[in-house]
Amino acid sequence: MSDAPSTIAPEFAGFFAALQERALAFPCCDTCARFHWYPMKACPHCRSSVISWRRIAGTGSLYSWTTVRHAFDPAWRDRLPYIVALVEFPDAPGVRLIANVAADPESLAIGMAVTPCFDDGVAIGKSGVTFVPAGNA
Amino acid sequence: MTKQAFIVGVGETPPTRRSSKDIRALAIDAIDAALADAGLPPTAIDGIVTDGLIMPNTVPHEYVTAQYGMDKRRFDGSISYGGTGIVCAPMIAKAAIDAGLAETVLCYFGVDWGTRASGPYGFHDLYPAKLAFEKPVGFNGQPSYFALWARRYMHEFGATEEDLAAIAIAQRSNALRNPRSQVKKPLDLEAYRASRMISDPLRAADCCVISDGVCAFIVTTGERARDLRQKPVKIMGCGFGTEPVSGDDIFTQRADLLRIPGAAAAAQQALRQADLTLGDVDFAEIYDCFTISCLMQIESMGFCGPGEAGPFVRERGTTVDGRLPINTHGGLLSYSYLLGAEHVIEAVRQLRGEAGAAQVADAQVGLVSGLSVPDYGVLLLGRPT
């Protein structure tokens, strides 16, 4: 797939636009004020099609994580092992973001606070955002 | 009045990681075997049912029809995809028979993920949000998806690696009774702990094998079944359940990641049709793509409560001579990984009393389940009378 992630579907664009400005944003319904993720064509809670991208503060907590030790795609072989986590945000209830975490796996715990880092220097993948334990930012 | 429908012939290709044959040749082998098992000519087939996503792209119904010159085919159906599709195929076959749309229906399913370059991992590329948001961070293999569930499960319920190991060890013991199974090496707790970590907490021993192969079976009426070669295995009930969540969201976004609502719904539907309870089930072939998902399905179908599956497996005993044998051929973890098509074949063999050293004593009712997130299928089969 040669398409850039930001162009796979029009309703995805807001996430990548926010990343360009070193921020996280998620779709939130103007009608019922509830977040949803992944992006849908209409709000899955109330069916409204009036959806805005709402920026969040960024700090979240670990819902779960895994240390990947096998390259399912050979392109990832030289980055093993790496951490993939599911991050929840207090100001975006209902959203869980899949993201890399740059940390010692032994230091992680469910519920632990993590903050986004937009520097290419800590990036593991190509998503534009990598999380680090809060306090290490 | 609803007619009864029976599975009268089964066929499978030998479990293997890589076959020298392509997927269509494997399908022909499996269908040949199922027809021979039933004692039916190909031209007796007047309907075909498969899953609705994988077979249409690899072994389409029209290809099989042409290959065999099935000139009486007047019914075509499909349901869900993958494992749920093949476990629920008897539901569609029986409905077609009930409605007079067909009399003898061929069902088949298989994959060539052992030889295909992307293996099972390419499958999820069909989900746009996974492509856009997950692939770029290296969240690109099923073991990682289920690893997130496993860690959360261990956190919420205090489950341990012994709980995961219990199901892997029991099924390996079952596989060792079966000369066809893909994995032949014994597994105990020590060997489990030495198994390579793939995406922690999941080890290689927690993950299904990868296989090339196809299974096929034939469904027909009671009248027709009477004259055929094998004792007919009765379709007692077949349920489908799901939840309103897309394939993009299923692994990460559901409010409760640790319950599978489709499994509860499908089990209840099948049991209601069969007028049975879970207590009547003598053995179960459960969709064990990973140890963690097998534990969660045992809970979601109602065999035990949330977080109780590890102790349930250890205390009830799920080996062939246990009180509830589970995955009597070794399952997807140790026998082969044709997404549960082999589970249907194994259940039929058990009920016909053909399972050899892995035979469950006095097996009368077998449960088969298939998970194709978010869809779920439960099939209840009964011993020939």
What is the CATH classification number for the domain harbouring B326? Answer: 3.40.47.10
- The span from the CA of B15 to the CA of B341, in Å, is 12
The answer to whether residue B135 sits within a structural domain is no
A62, closest residue in chain B (CA to CA): B152
Report the domain count for chain B: 1
- The span from the CA of B337 to the CA of B54, in Å, is 14
The answer to whether residue B159 sits within a structural domain is no
- Calculate what percentage of chain B has a pLDDT beyond 70: 99
Query: Per residue in B5-38, pLDDT tens?
Result: 999 999 999 999 999 999 999 999 999 999 999 9
Domain ranges of chain A: 10-133
- The span from the CA of A106 to the CA of A34, in Å, is 35
Instruction: Judge whether B162 is closer than 8 Å to chain A, CB to CB.
Output: no
Query: Per residue in A49-74, pLDDT tens?
Result: 999 999 999 999 999 999 999 999 99
Q: Which of A8, A37, A84 shows the shortest C-beta gap to B137? A: A84
The domain in which residue B112 lies consists of 5-116+208-382
* Average of per-residue pLDDT across A82-97: 97
pLDDT at B1: 47
Q: Which residues of A touch B119 (CB under 8 A)?
A: 72
- Residue B2, pLDDT above cutoff 70: no
The answer to whether residue B125 sits within a structural domain is no
Q: At what angle do helices B309-316 and B161-175 cross, to 10 degrees?
A: 40
The answer to whether residue B347 sits within a structural domain is yes
Q: Do B141 and A72 touch (CB under 8 A)?
A: yes
pTM: 0.96
On the 0-12 / 13-18 / 19+ scale of CB atoms within 10 A, B325 is buried
Query: Per residue in B290-307, pLDDT tens?
Result: 999 999 999 999 999 999
The answer to whether residue B335 sits within a structural domain is yes
- The span from the CA of B120 to the CA of B60, in Å, is 20
The answer to whether residue B262 sits within a structural domain is yes
The answer to whether residue B194 sits within a structural domain is no
For residue B14, the 8-state DSSP code is P
| Gap from A5 CA to chain B (nearest CA, Å) | 4
B196, closest residue in chain A (CA to CA): A69
Which tokens in the block code for residue B217?
């079976």
Name the residues of B annotated as catalytic: 287, 337
